[in-house]
Amino acid sequence: MKSGEILLLTSGEIQGLLTLDECIGAVENAFRAYGKGRALPPAVLSMHTDAGGFHVKAGLLDLGRSYFAAKVNGNFPENGLRFGLPTIQGVIILCDARNGAPLAVMDSRHITSLRTAAATAVAAKYLARGDSRTVTVCGCGNQGRIQLSALARVCRLETAFAYDRDGDRALRFSEDLTSGLGISVKPVSDLAAAVRQSDICVTCTTSQEPLLDYDDVAPGTFIAAVGADNPQKQELHPSLMARSKIVCDILEQCAAMGDLHHALDAGFVTRANVHAELGEIVAGKKPGRESREEVTIFDSTGMALQDVAGAAFLYEKAQRDGSGVRLDFGA
């Protein structure tokens, strides 16, 4: 691009450029770089309204070229019913971190969905048992669909249970994913019973109260808690956190807004009880799963470096392919 030009990428263009497998690779590299100390801690700012809220996540990442990205997302759970709009909407701005020049502006929805599921897949590589075959997905919206697809990339899944408060949505999820992934996906009405039969559980809901307690989980289970991305949300009971191996995406962020936040506030754990950040495990500084029996939890609040990695990958691929619209803000 010419100096001063900014690349604009729409949601449709992004879906055509970034595959789930590519995103998993980019996200794993971002966690590895952070775990090796090659990236600064990312930053987050949140502001809440009566119906939802906004967050700004920003980070710097050197990928051969130094990039800065900031994502501004609105998260409004009732949008579908009230306005016919997606729950999550927003934009990512990507900049050259060497000189501050804006490089690209892109829709954030597909990147956010893919990079969130990609982090679960990366965590599963290190924290799930190698023979994991059965998974429960709690929350059958768009994120649940991508979560199951991502897990199928790194685990040899045979059976999945689909739980949602909306039974019809769980049924549609099961029909679509059975066909799309070629595994048996069954709708269930009893979450705890399904989780006790599972090797992996992913929770991706907007719940503000615990969905799972320790007695609901079998020994050796890997749990990815994805939904608690603000201080009001909670999916796991503090007693489950206290009796499991806890791995965070970003410790301080999870302490402020994840399921870890609630366990800390309830006095069930301290920061010292957290085994590791995922980057430390990916970088080989700390072990992942150490026994077949331990219950492992990935507290996933969404690390900004995931967004930087996804946005930078998209920008470079779009440059090679000639995709997107180029705008001259200096004209």
Range of the domain at 199: 119-302
* Nearest Cα to Cα of residue 126 among 294, 320, 307, 253: 294
Which pLDDT score, from 0 to 100, does residue 258 have? Answer: 93
Q: Does 331 score more than 80 pLDDT?
A: no
Which pLDDT score, from 0 to 100, does residue 2 have? Answer: 65
Task: Examine the domain organization and report whether 310 and 265 are in the same domain.
Answer: no
Which residues, in sequence order, are CB contacts of 229 under 8 Å at separation 6+? 55, 75, 257, 258, 301, 302
Task: Examine the domain organization and report whether 78 and 141 are in the same domain.
Answer: no
Secondary element (H or E) of residue 137: strand 134-138
Q: Is the dihedral of CA 124, 289, 224, 48 positive or negative?
A: negative
Say how many domains are in the chain: 2
Task: Examine the domain organization and report whether 47 and 90 are in the same domain.
Answer: yes
Task: Examine the domain organization and report whether 279 and 155 are in the same domain.
Answer: yes
Task: Examine the domain organization and report whether 127 and 93 are in the same domain.
Answer: no
What confidence tier does 75 reach under pLDDT thresholds 50, 70, 90? confident
What confidence tier does 276 reach under pLDDT thresholds 50, 70, 90? very high
Q: Does 207 score more than 90 pLDDT?
A: yes
Give the separation between CA 208 and CA 275, rounded to whole angstroms: 25
Asked if residue 195 lies in contact with residue 214, where contact means CB atoms within 8 angstroms, the answer is no
Mean pLDDT is lowest, of 8-17, 185-194, 217-226, for: 8-17
Which pLDDT score, from 0 to 100, does residue 81 have? Answer: 86
Please name the residue that has the structure tokens 């980019």.
Answer: 26
Q: Kindly report the CATH number assigned to the domain that includes residue 54.
A: 3.30.1780.10
Q: Kindly report the CATH number assigned to the domain that includes residue 296.
A: 3.40.50.720
Task: Examine the domain organization and report whether 54 and 125 are in the same domain.
Answer: no
Task: Examine the domain organization and report whether 290 and 310 are in the same domain.
Answer: no
Q: Please write the tens of the pLDDT for every residue from 310-321.
A: 999 999 999 999
Task: Examine the domain organization and report whether 72 and 217 are in the same domain.
Answer: no
Task: Examine the domain organization and report whether 20 and 92 are in the same domain.
Answer: yes
Which pLDDT score, from 0 to 100, does residue 1 have? Answer: 58
Q: Please write the tens of the pLDDT for every residue from 119-177.
A: 999 999 999 999 999 999 999 999 999 999 999 999 999 999 999 999 999 999 999 99
Task: Examine the domain organization and report whether 197 and 291 are in the same domain.
Answer: yes
Mean pLDDT of the chain: 95
Task: Examine the domain organization and report whether 189 and 285 are in the same domain.
Answer: yes
What confidence tier does 7 reach under pLDDT thresholds 50, 70, 90? very high
Kindly state the average pLDDT of the residues 77-98. 92
Kindly state the average pLDDT of the residues 75-100. 92
What confidence tier does 80 reach under pLDDT thresholds 50, 70, 90? confident
Which pLDDT score, from 0 to 100, does residue 8 have? Answer: 96
Catalytic residues: 71
How many other CB atoms sit within 10 Å of the CB of residue 4? 12
Which pLDDT score, from 0 to 100, does residue 314 have? Answer: 96
* Nearest Cα to Cα of residue 150 among 240, 19, 242: 19
Kindly state the average pLDDT of the residues 176-192. 96
Task: Examine the domain organization and report whether 131 and 52 are in the same domain.
Answer: no
Q: Please write the tens of the pLDDT for every residue from 46-74.
A: 898 988 889 999 999 999 999 999 999 99
Asked if residue 288 lies in contact with residue 261, where contact means CB atoms within 8 angstroms, the answer is no
